[in-house]
Amino acid sequence: MFQCKFYSKPSQIRYGNELCGSGVGARVTAAQYATDTTTLSNIVEEIYDGIGPKPLIISPGGFFDANWFKEFINKTTDILDVVTHHIYNLGAGVDKGLVEKILNPSYLDGLADPFKQLENILETSGTSASAWVGEAGGAYNSGHHLVTDAFVFSFWYLDQLGMSAVYDTKTYCRQTLIGGNYGLLNTTTFEPNPDYYSALLWHRLMGETVLSTNFTGSKKMRSYAHCAKESDGITLLLINLDNLTTINVNLSANTLLKSRAQIELVTQDTKTGESTTREEYHLTAKDGDLHSQTMMLNGNELTVNSAGDIPPLEPLLVNSLEPISVAPYSIVFVHIPYLTLNACGNLVMEF
């Protein structure tokens, strides 16, 4: 017998936690989970008959297994709102090789497979459900102090945000706001860890429309581009995993459309003739220590004030004619307002 007693309306409902694939401690077959999820959907429909909005049916909330997910989704195409999976793709928190994995571009490239496969399953199944990362802490069993709560983890975290968006992931839930060694807030002081500021800049600068990017230089440069959020132009995310080399980035834009008329790149003010500027946010570790829990923005330490207020995240204004300079072991958000697109889509960014 299934009983529900809600004291406030939930926004989403699912069965269990990490029961898919090989499971964690326990597992349920895809066929059985699909049957149970159908029952859950019917119960929700009955309880919320004439009442809206209904909670989303989200499932399965576990580690991605292509065969299991494909069978489950194909059996629930008409009832699922969201397909969720969990990500701890760096392995155990006690692994002493976490930093080496984070700084290895080949390893990071391999982390795209679950996103890519899930996108393909959803596209071919006929479901209208979207993909979410329902939980992601990078390294399981509470992470690793001075790695998953330090500057170095922003290389992984922001790369994951960019990568998941490329494969049409609609929501990315970080494990966790506070707790373990992978929280966005320090568990003792409640002050922001570096990933908090990384997440905040992503939220403020990166719009929903994802643009294709292609970097033709060092493999240690990771690049992502979105339409700018609530602003003209685009925003780039550039991640330099090289410990020695400053990488200078020059931007070009090519459209996949038949006409280039939908792209306008204005590098000079048409009235004054002066060069336009872009906004750059350079993130580095304090004293160059990747294990530091203090992040620097454009050379300034990011700390809350005595009232607990988040510091202003002010950009550098840089002449549009200059290359984008990305220092070793640094992350740069670049808002380029002078690159305007009619539809802000069908664009390939080349560097």
Question: How far lies 203's CA from each of 230, 235, 281, 295, 341, in Å?
Answer: 11, 11, 14, 17, 21
In this structure, which amino acid lies at residue 172? Y
> How many angstroms separate the CA atoms of 206 and 199, rounded?
10
Tokens of 304: 């809350």
Tokens of 203: 């939220």
> How many angstroms separate the CA atoms of 288 and 170, rounded?
34
| Residue appearing with tokens 């090989």 | 22
Phi, psi of 114 (to 5 degrees): -60, -40
* SS3 per residue for 86-100: EECCCEECCCCCHHH
The angle subtended at Cα 14 by Cα 12 and Cα 20, nearest 5°, is 140
Report yes or no: 316 and 280 within 8 Å, Cβ to Cβ.
yes
Is 18 a catalytic site residue? Answer: yes
Which of 18, 191, 301, 314 is catalytic? The answer is: 18
Give the pairing type, strands 82-87 and 56-63. parallel
User: What is the DSSP secondary-structure string of 68-83?
Assistant: HHHHHHHHSTTT-SEE
Spell out the residues 6+ positions from residue 157 whose beta carbon is closer than 8 angstroms to its own: 138, 174, 195, 198, 199
The angle subtended at Cα 298 by Cα 104 and Cα 311, nearest 5°, is 110
Question: How far lies 241's CA from each of 31, 153, 154, 251, 274, in Å?
Answer: 43, 12, 11, 19, 34
Which of 71, 100, 123, 135 is catalytic? The answer is: 135
Q: Which residues have a catalytic role annotated? A: 18, 135
